[in-house]
Chain A
Amino acid sequence: MKFNYSTFSLALITSGLITLPAISHANDSAELEDLRNLVQELSQKVKILERKGENNDEAAAAAKKESPVIKASSSGFSFASPDGKNEIKFRGLLQADHRHFSDGANDVRGRSNERAGNLNPDGFHSAEDTSLLRRVRPTIEGKVGGKYGFRFTPEFAGGSASAVDAYVEANLSPGLKIRAGKQKSIVGLERLQGGGDIKFVERSYVTNAILPNRDLGVTVSGDLFENKLNYGVGIVNGVADGGNISTGTEYNGEREYTARLFATPFVDSANALSGLGFGIGATWTDYTGEKNLNFTDTTAADATRNGLPSYVTEGQQTFFRYTSNAIADGKRIRWSPQANYYYGPLGVIAEYARVSQDVSLANNGSPAAGGAAAGASVITAGTHKNLKHDAWDVGVSYLITGEDASFKGVKPKQDFDLDKGGWGAWELVARYSEINLDSDTFKNAAGVYAAEGSGIGNAFSDLTKSAKSAETWTLGLNWYLNTNAKVSLNYARTSFDCGALRKGLAQTTNNNASGSNVRDREDEDALLARFQVAF
């Protein structure tokens, strides 16, 4: 058979045509397998990466749970454990004030420590304009174990450092909180309002003059009935009216008992009464006057040396002092009904306080100075009295920029910002407050007005030097630049009953038996300005 190339070629081509797809198919399968493996490999890698991502997220979440929480906000700076049970907070309050007096005296007439220099025609030094730091209070407060905490607030205003608050507390439940150390008295409503939250530059006579400021001891307080009733009871060292105890001084061995109930029965309601709160506070103690004699510690403020206070105006000028030989001797009972109300931008606070104070006079030198050199001072027989002083006030505030008023600070709808056009929050405030002292304060045992140098002694104060009442109208404006910064301007006009010597009489002349040589102390016109930063 002749070899047929064409047939052979055809056969080759044909076989090639036939076998080509088979070879091609085999190659495809291998590639497919490779591709499958590659896809699986890549799929595993992707899954591994995803899983590692999940694990990293879990690890990050777990780490976050264990990392301390650091906060810096308008309410202060803090760092806390992740569960919030342990925390340290840093807070602060700084108030820079200016006081301008167009009229007014700077102390009672004839004050023994009066400065040299010219007295005004009424026998007083005039109240001086002054710029001052009213409060410089950094605060460290903390919590350990969720329930136990502390607060330490030093005060650097006033030239020397002191501890304003220094206490430890156990918050066992909302209804049971125990606090021990130096702390705010639980009795007064306006006192319990933060120093940076008060609506006026200075607190009223009820708070500043009659009720205690801060004391050392133990208090138990809490909120009951779903925060509708707040209670507080305390056993403290006891301080004179308006007193702020020093951290290390116990000048009398007696205890003072304090208590307060404050109800907000409609707090859960949505009606106009939801912002109504009312209550009553009281203190009770019984001093043995002899214990107030012969003090050798002359570093303490004289307001608390003899257990008796002096009273100041809204411009912080003293208008009443007890005579230097008067001492607290017997019971001191204070009580104070109180109420506040907040509805939208409107806020009202009203308080009354009455103190019933047993007093005696001592002889043989000033008890505050430890008696005369010749011997220790003793209580003068027949001088014991009970004096009753009271004070009340009504303060109204209204946020004209529409923010909600509250017992605490104001959060402006818009912060003051020149670039963005915000003007902060603006608030108008007005208050009437007065304080009335017992007339018996100025009389001797026989009921006769007495005065130093008059030959008629044995009264507890002198009407020609100390006023027996003060009435103050305060108008003001608060500008909240933001949650932390506030500018306040108050105008306070105070008029007095008595407290000065009738014009024309020599300064050495004191009041006579009827008190006819007495006239009213000059009115005080004070402009009080404050710039405050609190956080």
Chain B
Amino acid sequence: MKKSLLTIALISAIYGITTPVSAFAKDVNLLNVSYDPTRELYQDFNKAFAAYWKTKTGDNVIVKTSHGGSGKQARAIIDGLDADVATLALAYDVDQLSEKGKLIPKDWQKRLGHNSSPYTSTIVLLVRKGNPKGIKDWDDLVKPGISVITPNPKTSGGARWNYLAAWAFAQKKFGGDEAKTKEFVGKLLKNVPVLDTGARGSTTTFVERGIGDVLLAWENEAFLAQKELGVGKFEIVVPSLSILAEPPVTVVDKFAKKHGNEVVAKAYLDYLYTEEGQEIAAKNYYRPTLESVAKKYEKQFPKSNLVKIDEEFGGWQKAQKTHFSDGGTFDQIYQK
């Protein structure tokens, strides 16, 4: 009797030692709902995170991503697209997940470093090779005959950054004269022949369809277009003044909890702040926030004079209400 017990104990011990962790591994599905130009970033990042999570826990994490105009994506989540994490273009869209969707706490931005923006970017001007129209700054975009490509601020986060960058330039140029600023931005919008719903759509319009003289673009998107989508066909023009774009990220608590993904979703976002995550961001032309990585990629990003949304526009809530809500300045000056 004792002999058989001993045998069972031994077999159990050997089994316990030799059974690989993978025998108990589970598959985890995670949905990241993001904005338009982050496709390449998260393609790389998801692979890295899956490998990291596998090593750490033994679990197989499969991250699916959905991309589109930031505002549109936020509305989709509120309407039931059950994202575990949201990585959107601007804080106002994430605020909506709290205010309208009750999906995340109001103080979501405090949960992660740098106001929950693991990487930043800015708005630059992408022109065709040789800069045939001689575009050097925002001033040039309001000239007659200049065709400007930018997406629709009603649906695209990138477009809102573009609009505010132009607005900030005009305000400075006209010493805060709102009427003249409005007129300036109005003239610029008159030069826009097509309003795409998202930044990637505008890139397609400019790069692939050959429409327009200048694309107002995320810096990362401009680099991508220049180095990967149309090598040697485009040049980046850094305007004299632009805006610091801080795309935020958050766990969508309600859906992550529903899927039992709270831990992995948080780990996914935390991983964006690690050296590995920051390296991936930098390689995809996003400005890293981790100092060591930022220093390493310092030369990649041109020095720019950047205004901040909080300082220049009183934060996203105010900027949204003033410029992009129904009846805001965009509605007032944009004529189809």
Most buried by B among A47, A58, A59: A47
B55-63, B203-211, B228-236, B254-262 - interface stretch: B203-211
Please give the distance in Å from A13's CB to the nearest CB on chain B. Answer: 43
Please give the distance in Å from B71's CB to the nearest CB on chain A. Answer: 14
B197 x A51 contact (CB < 8 A): no
Q: With an 8 A cutoff between CB atoms, is A52 at the interface?
A: yes
A47 x B197 contact (CB < 8 A): no
* A159 vs B147: C-alpha distance when bound (angstroms): 75
Would you list which residues of chain A between 46 and 101 have a CB under 8 Å from chain B? 47-48, 50-52, 55, 58-59
* A58 vs B72: C-alpha distance when bound (angstroms): 14
* A343 vs B210: C-alpha distance when bound (angstroms): 63
* A44 vs B146: C-alpha distance when bound (angstroms): 12
Would you list which residues of chain A between 408 and 447 have a CB under 8 Å from chain B? none
CB-based nearest A residue for B147: A44
B194 x A48 contact (CB < 8 A): yes
Q: Which residues of chain B come closer than 8 Å to A51, judged between CB atoms?
A: 194, 205, 209, 211
Also in contact, A55 and B194, with CB within 8 A (given A47-B211, A48-B211): yes
CB-based nearest A residue for B208: A51
**Complex interface bits, B144-169 against A, C-beta within 8 A gives 1, otherwise 0:** 00010000000000000000000000
CB-based nearest A residue for B205: A51
Q: Choose among B193, B197, B210, B211 the residue that contacts A58 (Cβ–Cβ < 8 A).
A: B197
Q: Which residues of chain B come closer than 8 Å to A58, judged between CB atoms?
A: 197, 201
Q: Majority SS of interface residues in chain B?
A: loop
Q: Which residues of chain A come closer than 8 Å to B209, judged between CB atoms?
A: 47, 50-51
Q: With an 8 A cutoff between CB atoms, is B246 at the interface?
A: no
B211 x A55 contact (CB < 8 A): no
Most buried by B among A47, A48, A51, A58: A51
Number of A-B contacts (CB under 8 A): 22
A55 x B147 contact (CB < 8 A): no
Q: Which residues of chain B come closer than 8 Å to A55, judged between CB atoms?
A: 194, 196-197, 201
Please give the distance in Å from B56's CB to the nearest CB on chain A. Answer: 33
* A163 vs B211: C-alpha distance when bound (angstroms): 64
B147 x A59 contact (CB < 8 A): no
CB-based nearest B residue for A85: B80
**Complex interface bits, B207-223 against A, C-beta within 8 A gives 1, otherwise 0:** 00111000000000000
CB-based nearest A residue for B194: A51
B194 x A44 contact (CB < 8 A): no
* A50 vs B196: C-alpha distance when bound (angstroms): 13
Q: Which residues of chain A come closer than 8 Å to B193, judged between CB atoms?
A: 44, 48
B210 x A47 contact (CB < 8 A): yes
Q: Which residues of chain A come closer than 8 Å to B194, judged between CB atoms?
A: 48, 51-52, 55
Q: Which residues of chain A come closer than 8 Å to B147, judged between CB atoms?
A: 44
Please give the distance in Å from B246's CB to the nearest CB on chain A. Answer: 28
Q: Which residues of chain A come closer than 8 Å to B211, judged between CB atoms?
A: 44, 47-48, 51
* A58 vs B201: C-alpha distance when bound (angstroms): 11
* A47 vs B205: C-alpha distance when bound (angstroms): 9
**Complex interface bits, B95-109 against A, C-beta within 8 A gives 1, otherwise 0:** 000000000000000
**Complex interface bits, B35-59 against A, C-beta within 8 A gives 1, otherwise 0:** 0000000000000000000000000
B205 x A59 contact (CB < 8 A): no
Would you list which residues of chain A between 482 and 532 have a CB under 8 Å from chain B? none
**Complex interface bits, A301-320 against B, C-beta within 8 A gives 1, otherwise 0:** 00000000000000000000
Q: Which residues of chain B come closer than 8 Å to A47, judged between CB atoms?
A: 209-211
* A48 vs B209: C-alpha distance when bound (angstroms): 9
Q: Which residues of chain B come closer than 8 Å to A44, judged between CB atoms?
A: 147, 193, 211
CB-based nearest B residue for A66: B79
B210 x A59 contact (CB < 8 A): no
Would you list which residues of chain B between 187 and 203 have a CB under 8 Å from chain A? 193-194, 196-197, 201
Please give the distance in Å from A257's CB to the nearest CB on chain B. Answer: 35
CB-based nearest A residue for B212: A44
Would you list which residues of chain A between 18 and 51 have a CB under 8 Å from chain B? 44, 47-48, 50-51
* A58 vs B194: C-alpha distance when bound (angstroms): 14
* A44 vs B210: C-alpha distance when bound (angstroms): 8
* A47 vs B196: C-alpha distance when bound (angstroms): 14
* A325 vs B147: C-alpha distance when bound (angstroms): 96
* A44 vs B212: C-alpha distance when bound (angstroms): 8
Please give the distance in Å from A145's CB to the nearest CB on chain B. Answer: 10
Please give the distance in Å from B232's CB to the nearest CB on chain A. Answer: 21
* A55 vs B197: C-alpha distance when bound (angstroms): 8
CB-based nearest B residue for A52: B194
* A58 vs B195: C-alpha distance when bound (angstroms): 13
Q: Which residues of chain B come closer than 8 Å to A52, judged between CB atoms?
A: 194
Please give the distance in Å from A274's CB to the nearest CB on chain B. Answer: 36
* A47 vs B194: C-alpha distance when bound (angstroms): 10
Q: Which residues of chain A come closer than 8 Å to B201, judged between CB atoms?
A: 55, 58
* A402 vs B198: C-alpha distance when bound (angstroms): 57
Please give the distance in Å from A240's CB to the nearest CB on chain B. Answer: 46
Please give the distance in Å from B134's CB to the nearest CB on chain A. Answer: 16
Please give the distance in Å from B304's CB to the nearest CB on chain A. Answer: 30
* A207 vs B147: C-alpha distance when bound (angstroms): 78
Q: Which residues of chain B come closer than 8 Å to A59, judged between CB atoms?
A: 197
* A55 vs B336: C-alpha distance when bound (angstroms): 15
Q: Which residues of chain B come closer than 8 Å to A48, judged between CB atoms?
A: 193-194, 211
* A47 vs B206: C-alpha distance when bound (angstroms): 10
* A44 vs B193: C-alpha distance when bound (angstroms): 10
Q: Which residues of chain A come closer than 8 Å to B196, judged between CB atoms?
A: 55
**Complex interface bits, B304-324 against A, C-beta within 8 A gives 1, otherwise 0:** 000000000000000000000
CB-based nearest A residue for B195: A55
Most buried by A among B147, B193, B197: B193
Please give the distance in Å from A143's CB to the nearest CB on chain B. Answer: 15
Q: Which residues of chain A come closer than 8 Å to B210, judged between CB atoms?
A: 47
* A52 vs B149: C-alpha distance when bound (angstroms): 13
* A284 vs B194: C-alpha distance when bound (angstroms): 72
Please give the distance in Å from B190's CB to the nearest CB on chain A. Answer: 14
Please give the distance in Å from A354's CB to the nearest CB on chain B. Answer: 49
Please give the distance in Å from A38's CB to the nearest CB on chain B. Answer: 13
* A55 vs B201: C-alpha distance when bound (angstroms): 9
CB-based nearest B residue for A83: B80
* A328 vs B193: C-alpha distance when bound (angstroms): 84
CB-based nearest A residue for B152: A55
CB-based nearest B residue for A45: B193
* A410 vs B38: C-alpha distance when bound (angstroms): 54
Please give the distance in Å from B212's CB to the nearest CB on chain A. Answer: 8
Please give the distance in Å from A207's CB to the nearest CB on chain B. Answer: 44
Q: Which residues of chain A come closer than 8 Å to B197, judged between CB atoms?
A: 55, 58-59
Please give the distance in Å from A68's CB to the nearest CB on chain B. Answer: 14
Please give the distance in Å from B248's CB to the nearest CB on chain A. Answer: 25
* A52 vs B197: C-alpha distance when bound (angstroms): 11
Please give the distance in Å from B211's CB to the nearest CB on chain A. Answer: 5
CB-based nearest A residue for B149: A51
Please give the distance in Å from B238's CB to the nearest CB on chain A. Answer: 26
Please give the distance in Å from B223's CB to the nearest CB on chain A. Answer: 23
Please give the distance in Å from A55's CB to the nearest CB on chain B. Answer: 6
* A47 vs B193: C-alpha distance when bound (angstroms): 10
A/B interface sample: 22 pairs, CB < 8 A: A44-B147, A44-B193, A44-B211, A47-B209, A47-B210, A47-B211, A48-B193, A48-B194, A48-B211, A50-B209, A51-B194, A51-B205, A51-B209, A51-B211, A52-B194, A55-B194, A55-B196, A55-B197, A55-B201, A58-B197, A58-B201, A59-B197
- Interface, chain B (partner A; CB < 8 A): 147, 193-194, 196-197, 201, 205, 209-211
List the 4 shortest-distance A-B pairs measured between CB atoms, nearest first.
Answer: A48-B193, A47-B211, A51-B194, A51-B209
**What 13 additional pairs, Cβ within 8 angstroms, besides A50-B209, A51-B194, A51-B211?**
A44-B147, A44-B193, A47-B209, A47-B210, A48-B193, A51-B205, A51-B209, A52-B194, A55-B196, A55-B197, A58-B197, A58-B201, A59-B197
- Interface, chain A (partner B; CB < 8 A): 44, 47-48, 50-52, 55, 58-59
